[in-house]
Structure 1
């Protein structure tokens, strides 16, 4: 795995453990030589994640819409700041840069981003693994709700089982690496950017 896309909050949240987690993930990715791809912000957990990776000497690629740069939300200290025109383009570019995707604590934006790349995988638009870092059981209620969708027949059990979930980053990276080695490439050669057209 050369680069990992991480989706997470642009706010701090109420629990300081979330910031500690974000900083630790950034540092651990850098130690392992895995580049970080994220939403390019300097605020909240996003900024903490990027700073953790940068302090440890890691590569950090931020992808951010121009309107957010104009609001001075961009992290100017990252290795590479990619400015795009829309949220749709942001997600497509992050998908191109990364080899896998992970959700850390976050809200609506985090959920929207991770669910979109997960649905792209299910539809065969890419073969990159998707996972949730369930540190402290943060995602456990959501994962239970997803199991309910599968039980109700609205989500294939195979799709749910394909999701990588672990309580710590080393365990999650191990599962993602297994998925990378074992998942065939998409049959029709499409890419996520085409979904925006």
Structure 2
């Protein structure tokens, strides 16, 4: 399965790095490919290194203004003109999506992917990997949106919140089996 992972290119605390390494190893050992932003920095590098070292394939999708930070050892590296094209290419190459911890760019990617899913533009499973409770506030906001009628479909049809990589991968593998 090609798993698109949206995450930070920032260097982060071990409470985020260690679980990312574990998830990357699970992906690689499971024979999954990582579709990611193509960066050689931060959690993006942690994920790429871990997946590759565990035997998985790397499909990077960088953007022109960040191409100088592209990961050198990817199996495939596409460079897009802008961020919108990058997101579209990442989604096109993915069978499933995992959103890990990140900043504004990651949040933008997550909300766009969920909006597209809400409108039926894709049916790929989406997981928010809630490492160290990072997305607790967002989960609460999504639950409020649902309770107050802002979501035309149940929240559980849009996104799954996983506490760890094991739960995320189990959910994706189960959903992949259903979609096959």
Task: Give yes or no for TM over 0.5.
Answer: yes
Question: How many residues end up aligned between the 2 structures?
Answer: 179
**Is 1:54–1:60's contact at 8 Å kept on the other side of the alignment?**
yes
Structure 2 Cα separation of the partners of residues 164 and 178 of structure 1? 12
Aligned-pair Cα RMSD in Å: 1.6
**2:2 aligned partner:** 3
Match of 1:93 among 85, 89, 96: 89
**Is 2:33–2:57's contact at 8 Å kept on the other side of the alignment?**
yes
**2:156 aligned partner:** 161
Structure 2 Cα separation of the partners of residues 157 and 67 of structure 1? 37
- TM-superposition CA deviations, 1:8-40 (whole Å, max 9, x none): 011023x21211122222111000001000000
The alignment partner of 2:124 has SS state of coil
Structure 2 Cα separation of the partners of residues 180 and 75 of structure 1? 28
- TM-superposition CA deviations, 1:114-142 (whole Å, max 9, x none): 11111111111111111111122221121
**Is 1:101–1:114's contact at 8 Å kept on the other side of the alignment?**
no
Structure 1 Cα separation of the partners of residues 110 and 15 of structure 2? 21
* Pairing 1:51–2:13 present: no
Larger relative contact order (CA 8 Å, sep ≥ 6): 2
**1:117 aligned partner:** 113
Give structure 2 stretches of 5+ with no counterpart.
none
What TM-score does the superposition give when structure 1 sets the normalisation length? Answer: 0.85
What TM-score does the superposition give when structure 2 sets the normalisation length? Answer: 0.92
Structure 2 Cα separation of the partners of residues 48 and 150 of structure 1? 34
Shift in CA distance, 182/156, structure 1 to aligned 2, threshold 3 Å: farther
**Is 2:31–2:56's contact at 8 Å kept on the other side of the alignment?**
yes
The alignment partner of 2:3 has SS state of strand
Give structure 1 stretches of 5+ with no counterpart.
185-197
Structure with greater Cα Rg: 1
The alignment partner of 2:35 has SS state of strand
